[in-house]
Amino acid sequence: VQLVESGGGLVQPGGSLRLSCAASGFTFSEYAMNWVRQAPGKGLEWVSLITDDGDTTVYADSVRGRFTISRDNSRNTLFLQMGGLRGDDTAVYYCAKSPMTTVTPWFDFWGQGTRVSVSS
Amino acid sequence: DIVMTQSPLSLPVTPGEPASISCRSSQSLLHSNGYNYVDWYLQKPGQSPQLLIYLGSRRASGVPDRFSGSGSGTDFTLKISRVKAEDIGVYYCMQGLQTPLTFGGGTRVEIK
């Protein structure tokens, strides 16, 4: 299993960014996927979940209405469209795989993360 | 939201000695299927988190048997029977019972 995130960078407050996670080594379309973030020097915060078929999405209160999770099962890729970015969105963003189709009782694999910095 | 509280914040350990980390949840993580929906992760310095224990006591693939998870309901423990230098890092518990999925604040394990 490999999960490779990309798309991070420096963005101004209020700006947008689109993160990607390229998956390989497993049947991507059969598992729910998640984004988890970690602010500098801080702990882990779950951000969002999407079911295997992409029909259901769930968000943390801190990002609901600003972030959109999606997936392209034909390209084995997970996305996170981030808008209305704020300083407290600064973090390393990890793509994390669920062992199941619709829920995530645990994360069995994690990517290496992509860094997002929000600053003027 | 379910709040996960870990202790201690920092744990100095001696190689070869046992170590124990506690995690308490604000509500029961015991599902009607009999499993406790608590997991443990280790984030080694400079690395992504890795799964150690899921469903309270099941070791993930490749995890050494010196790691064990126990507990039920709202009180859980991760034990390392004999600490090795490679076990240093930050340990997190997480509840997988309901969204939002929530983590404990982390316990930093360091060598004395």
Distance from CA of A105 to the nearest CA of B (A): 4
B105 in contact with A at a CB cutoff of 8 Å? yes
Name residues 69-88 of chain A within 8 A of B (Cβ). none
Map residue A56 onto helix, strand or coil.
coil
CB atoms within 10 A of CB A25: 11
The beta strand positions in B1-112, using DSSP E, are: 4-7, 10-13, 19-25, 38-43, 49-54, 58-59, 67-72, 75-80, 89-95, 102-103, 107-111
What's the CA gap between B68 and B58, in Å, rounded?
8
All residues of chain B having their beta carbon less than 8 Å from the beta carbon of residue A104 are 96, 101
- Interface contact flag, B49 A113, Cβ < 8 Å: no
Chain A residue with minimal CA distance to B31?
A105
Share of chain B above pLDDT 90, in %: 99
Q: Which residues of A touch B42 (CB under 8 A)?
A: none
Going by pLDDT thresholds of 50, 70 and 90, the confidence category of residue B15 is very high
State mean pLDDT over A98-119.
95
Name the average pLDDT for chain B: 97
Alpha carbon of B102: minimum distance to chain A alpha carbons (Å): 7
**CA-to-CA distance for A59 and A47, rounded, in angstroms?**
6
Q: Does A22 touch chain B (CB under 8 A)?
A: no
Mean pLDDT of A16-27: 98
Q: What is the DSSP pairing of strand A57-59 with strand B75-80?
A: unpaired
Which residue of A56, A94, A107 is the best one to mutate when testing the B interface, meaning the one whose CB has the most B CBs within 10 A? A107
Residue A87: the pLDDT is 97
By the CB < 8 Å criterion, does B59 face chain A?
Answer: no
Q: Over chain A, what is the mean pLDDT? A: 97
Q: Is any Cβ of chain B less than 8 angstroms from the Cβ of A4?
A: no
Confidence of residue B12 (pLDDT cuts 50, 70, 90): very high
Q: Give the pLDDT confidence score for residue B1 in this predicted structure.
A: 97
Structure confidence at residue B6 (pLDDT): 98
Q: What is the pLDDT of residues B22-34, one digit of tens each?
A: 999 999 999 999 9
Could you report the per-residue pLDDT of B64-104, keeping only the tens digit for each? Answer: 999 999 999 999 999 999 999 999 999 999 999 999 999 99
Mutate to test the interface with A, among B48, B51, B98, B103 (most CBs of A within 10 A): B48
